[in-house]
Structure 1
Amino acid sequence: MKPKTTVVMRNIIQQIRANFPFAMSEQQLCAETCSHGCSIKLLEYMDMEITEWERRLDNGEIPNFGDIQKLSKSSTNIYKILEKNHLVNVL
């Protein structure tokens, strides 16, 4: 049985919160040159997106597959930029 889209969305949000460096200070985020994108702005955008989805889920909204795909794709792309900026673990 496939999980409900609300469960999938909450799992994605949980993974983002666990793997993105939201707790890093501005000084740490800007310690090196951000030649691939501004890490602070990217993290602010990602936090805004997941906070909005948490609010929507709490209000009973059911995400569709497009919503899940959009959040998944944007988080993957931002994570790749954070890797290039040496802010997350590079495997």
Structure 2
Amino acid sequence: MKIGRVIDNIWATRKEETLRSAKLMIVQILDTPADLRNPANNGGKVLIAADIIGAGIGEMVIVVGGSSARRAGGYDSNVPIDAMIVGIIDENEWGVDKE
């Protein structure tokens, strides 16, 4: 699992059939303590993640990857999802302001 910040949503009018119901978000992964203290720094890797919980832009989220992402979304192994937002972080112990 990784911590990330949703920076935007992404729209694809044409996509793989199995992804038609998936809401896709652009997430910046917060890898370092500096990223966690200041998520607006834009210092981490950016990826596209499917969202099953309704995360919004600017929220800090929990992201899983690989086959765990497909399982979390209830998808079978043939679906091309490699990252999934599975939680929204309300508070944390690092003193990180989520806004």
TM-score by length of 2: 0.26
- Bigger Rg, structure 1 or 2: 1
- Determine which structure has greater relative contact order: mean sequence separation of CA pairs < 8 Å that are 6+ residues apart, divided by chain length: 1
